[in-house]
Amino acid sequence: GQQVMQIPQYQHVQEGEDFTTYCNSSTTLSNIQWYKQRPGGHPVFLIQLVKSGEVKKQKRLTFQFGEAKKNSSLHITATQTTDVGTYFCSSSLYNQGGKLIFGQGTELSVKP
């Protein structure tokens, strides 16, 4: 079945450093959605990208969708301790309603 691969699995940064997580698929994706899960919490929707080459920003977060719609990235500028958590990419499958397939997630830790 369709899979979404995400790297790295873990990332440890010093507060103020940048952070990037990458998401890749062997097949064209209809969209990419990003979620954040704080330790002990539940996933929270961040954003959806639909168009080829799309770039969206939310304050210090920049989301990109590749030209071929097979990859995506989330970049955080100048991390803060509040950014700690696991970031998941996901995609809904064509003609399968709203079912989402999630990547394995990237766990971000930020050292103050």
Partner 1 sequence: NAGVMQNPRHLVRRRGQEARLRCSPMKGHSHVYWYRQLPEEGLKFMVYLQKENIIDESGMPKERFSAEFPKEGPSILRIQQVVRGDSAAYFCASSPPGTGVGYTFGSGTRLTVV
Closer residue to partner 1, CB minimum distance, 7 or 17? 7
Site track for partner 1 across 50-89, x = CB under 8 A: --------------------------------------x-
Shortest Cβ 98–partner 1 spacing (Å): 3
* C-alpha distances in Å from residue 34, one per residue of 15, 56, 60, 74, 87: 22, 12, 15, 8, 7
- Contact residue for partner 1 among 45, 51, 57, 81 (CB under 8 A): 45
- Contact residue for partner 1 among 11, 43, 49, 72 (CB under 8 A): 43
How open is the CA angle 80-86-89, to the nearest 5 degrees?
115
Does 100 help bind partner 1 (rule: CB under 8 A)?
A: yes
Buried b (16+ CB within 10 A) or exposed e, 63-83: bbbbeebbbbbbebeebeeeb
